[in-house]
Amino acid sequence: MVIDEAVPVHAPSARPARQLPAWASVLAVVAHPDDESFGLGAVVDTFAAGGAAVHILCYTHGEASTLNETRVDLHRAREQELSQAGAELGAASVTLLDYPDGRLSLVPPAELAAHAIAFAARSMAEGLLVFDETGITGHLDHQAATAAAVLAGQQAGLPVLAWALPQAIAGQLKSETGYDFAGQPPCRIDLCVRVSRKRQRRAALSHASQIPPGAVLWRRLQLQGECEHLRWLVPPQEPQRVR
């Protein structure tokens, strides 16, 4: 799946911005329960703490995960975990669809985008929040969810802001763990925002079936510290107010 073709090329600012846009309502679009926590959690929390209504749209139940630390029915358990994590992050709403886990890339992008457009309109979202187009871990479902959000943003005239990993951190994680994390060079980072990890950590622990004490997540958060890096996949049409 080639996603870069759908992402507008733009020149990032010389220095990354330090504050999130002052959106009153945000739609976070993800592929699986736990993506909203291990990936977007600190950004969701920062938006919510600043007074934004953050709505989470998740396409699959994550039932095909190879992890099952609690040995439960993943289809049911991950729905409950997502609900708990959303509450921990202060999300205004959580919507879980039932597309097949592991096969999201086989669904027509326009079909997935239609859901994002509908929920963005319903929640009066001023912008969408996603993983960057690499999927961070290379997961095709992550990439498909992002591609759908980018298409939705383009069609609805909404900016799309993506969580990204700096290249240096991705390289360090790969060398330590062998996992193929995808990072971005400094020239492709548009925002570097100071965050608190407290709620993100608690939300991640809600996903007991997926995130054990030895998960790579904890090392990644240690390396990232209190800063999240983001980039525009669909840049705002007008200058953004910041919070």
User: Taking residues 155-173, what's their average pLDDT?
Assistant: 97
Instruction: Flag whether 14 is in a domain.
Output: no
225 pLDDT above the threshold of 60: yes
Q: Are strands 160-164 and 227-234 parallel, antiparallel or unpaired?
A: antiparallel
- Calpha distance 80→132 (Å, rounded): 26
pLDDT of residue 68: 80
Instruction: Flag whether 239 is in a domain.
Output: no
Instruction: Flag whether 57 is in a domain.
Output: yes
Closest by CA to 163, choosing from 35, 76, 60, is 35
For residue 22, give both structure tokens.
Answer: 């002052």
Total tally of structural domains belonging to the chain:
1
Averaged confidence pLDDT in the chain: 92
pLDDT tens track for 106-139: 999 999 999 999 999 999 999 999 999 999 999 9
Instruction: Flag whether 68 is in a domain.
Output: yes
pLDDT of residue 69: 79
Helix 41-49 × helix 74-89 angle, to 10°: 40
DSSP, res 34: T
Instruction: Flag whether 226 is in a domain.
Output: yes
Q: Are 153 and 101 in contact (CB under 8 A)?
A: no
Whole-model pTM: value is 0.91
- Long-range contacts for 173-178 (Cβ within 8 Å, ≥24 apart)? 173/216, 173/219, 173/220, 173/223, 176/219, 177/216, 177/219
pLDDT tens track for 41-83: 999 999 999 999 999 999 999 998 888 878 889 999 999 999 9
What CATH number has the domain bearing residue 54?
A: 3.40.50.10320
pLDDT of residue 206: 96
pLDDT of residue 241: 73
pLDDT of residue 1: 35
Instruction: Flag whether 17 is in a domain.
Output: no
Q: Strand order in 191-194's β-sheet?
A: 93-99, 53-60, 25-30, 127-131, 160-164, 227-234, 191-194
Residue type, 143: Q
Instruction: Flag whether 19 is in a domain.
Output: no
Q: What percentage of the chain reaches a pLDDT higher than 70?
A: 94
User: Taking residues 212-229, what's their average pLDDT?
Assistant: 95
Q: What percentage of the chain reaches a pLDDT higher than 90?
A: 84
Using the structure block, give the residue that is written with the tokens 């996903």. 207
The residue with greater pLDDT, 189 or 1, is: 189
Under the banding of pLDDT at 50, 70 and 90, the label for residue 4 is very low
Q: Are strands 160-164 and 191-194 parallel, antiparallel or unpaired?
A: unpaired
Using the structure block, give the residue that is written with the tokens 């289809």. 75
DSSP for 193-233? EE---HHHHHHHHH-TTT--TT-HHHHHHHHHTTEEEEEEE
Domain of residue 122, residue span: 4-8+24-234
pLDDT of residue 14: 59
Q: What does the radius of gyration of the chain's CA atoms come to, in whole angstroms?
A: 16
- Calpha distance 210→33 (Å, rounded): 9
Residues facing residue 173 across a β-bridge: none
Instruction: Flag whether 34 is in a domain.
Output: yes
